[in-house]
Amino acid sequence: MAQKDKENLRIIRQAVKWHEMVQQLFTTQSQLVSAQHDSALAEFNLAAACGRLIAPELRLPVQLYDMERHYRAVKDKWLGFGGGLKE
C-alpha cells in the first residue's frame, strides 16, 4: 500500500471516529433531556399525590371554591331544582 493510500485511510478512520463521537454526544444529550423531563414529571406527580397542586398551595390568583357556601346554597334543593333558573 502506498504512503498516500495509508494517509487517506488514516484520515477516513479519524473522520469515522469523530462521527461516532458526535453521534454519542447527541445520544447522551438526548438521554439527559429525557431524564430531566422524567424528573420534572415525577416531581409534579408527587406534588399531586401529596395534595400540593391545589390553588391555595400554588397561590393562584383565582377565587377559591367555598364548600360551606355552596352547601348552604343547595342544602334545601331537591335534585338541583328550586331557584336555579331565573324566569
pLDDT of residue 87: 43
pLDDT of residue 80: 61
Helices (H) and strands (E) in the chain, counts: 3, 0
Q: In this predicted model, what pLDDT tens digit does every residue of 22-35 receive, in sequence order?
A: 999 999 999 999 99
Q: In this predicted model, what pLDDT tens digit does every residue of 52-86 receive, in sequence order?
A: 999 998 899 999 999 999 998 888 877 766 555 55
Count Cβ atoms below 10 Å from residue 74 Cβ, excluding itself.
13
Give bridge partners of residue 78 from the DSSP assignment: 81
Domain ranges within the chain, ordered by starting residue: 3-60
